[in-house]
Amino acid sequence: MSGGDWLAALLVGGGLALLAVGFLTRVYWREERLVDILDLPFGETDLPLDQVVEQHATIVENLSGLAGKMVEQFDEKGSLERKLERARLPVRPGEFVVIVVGGGVVLGGLAFAITAQWFVGLVGVAASWVLGNVYLDRRITKRRKKFEAQFPDALSLIASSLSAGHTFLRSIQMMCEESEAPLSEEFRRVVNETQLGDPLVDALDRMSARLDVRDVAWVVQAIRIQQTVGGRLAELLHTLADFIRAREEIRREVDVLTAEGRISTWVLGGLPIFLLIAISVMNPGYMDPMFTGWGFAWLAASAVSVATGIVIINKMVKVEV
């Protein structure tokens, strides 16, 4: 492969990557601008909100209209939309599909340009969807862990506000003012739903289902029981905060003890792919027998073996606390 081919492949991949980054940046800017406008008092800005929403909708329709319709047909339960919401990624399912497909084309083109094997290019295209889901899962996991780390202190702050004589809703509002994201974002959404007329416990229950955090589910259930039978809510929240802190310490200790196994999963899973690409680059004709005849069967068997090993290691190092 000549230097010009390498340069062309890198330029095409970099251009498409810049287009994706520019699109996401524009989406972030419009979302932040709209939030700023909605937070302003009435009459403070003369910018028509309909114009902002229509421009955003036009961009979305041009880029992801067809993809959005396909997602609605194949994903009737809305699992992708829920994952995007839990990850707080400000894109619609159709937009996410367009970005993943574009990334798959770039990845597959680069893999084919490097190895000169069409099979490797198809694997690169297929891997884009896996990488997209892995990105969403990691973003959700990172956000959930950060929420879990903030949650005990938030409960203590709410309990202190209750002891000072504030109402439960006002205590949550004060906690949102003192806390950082993602905890402040989720509880601020609870406050907004309550201001629209929804019961506070039901709003907390929906937050628990949205986050899928066991500690939050326990706290919401305890609050629901307390609202039914009565009692001092401040003492209950202090007790729950101490209990959650103890579980968080155990969870961190388990993460430290299982870190070696989790790293081994990534190393053992990525090593065969790295070796395949490295050998194809250093000696392009060496792997040709693997892409003809029974070679495809051996490659498929190897992929199944590696995937099985990854699943087994994950089962071994996954400890529920």
Spatial contact of 179 and 150, defined as CB atoms under 8 Å apart: yes
The set of residues, in sequence order, having a beta carbon less than 8 Å from that of 45 and lying 6+ positions away, is 37
Tell me which of 45 and 197 has the higher pLDDT: 197
Are 280 and 114 in contact, with CB atoms under 8 Å apart? Answer: yes
pTM tops 0.75, yes or no: no
Q: What angle do CA 59, 65, 69 make, to 5 degrees?
A: 155
pLDDT at 54: 46
Q: Are 10 and 106 in contact (CB under 8 A)?
A: no
Inform me whether the pLDDT recorded for 24 exceeds 60. no
Is the peptide bond between 272 and the residue preceding it cis, with omega within 30 degrees of 0?
A: no
Higher pLDDT, 89 or 310: 310
pLDDT: which is higher, 10 or 119: 119
pLDDT at 60: 47
Report the share of the chain in percent with pLDDT over 90: 0
- Lowest mean per-residue pLDDT among 133-147, 281-295, 300-314: 281-295
* pLDDT tens digits, one per residue of 230-242: 778 888 888 989 9
Q: What is the pLDDT of residues 130-161, one digit of tens each?
A: 888 888 888 888 888 888 888 998 899 999 98
* pLDDT 10s digits, 52-90: 444 444 544 555 555 555 656 666 666 777 887 888 777
What pLDDT is stored for residue 301 in this prediction?
Answer: 87
Q: Residue 11 — very low, low, confident or very high, per pLDDT cuts 50/70/90?
A: low
Question: What's the pLDDT tens digit per position in 98-114?
Answer: 777 777 777 777 777 76
Give the closest residue to 187 by CA, choosing from 161, 226, 164: 161
Residue 318, classed as helix, strand or coil, is coil
**What average pLDDT does this structure show over 297-315?**
86
Percent of the chain with pLDDT over 70: 73
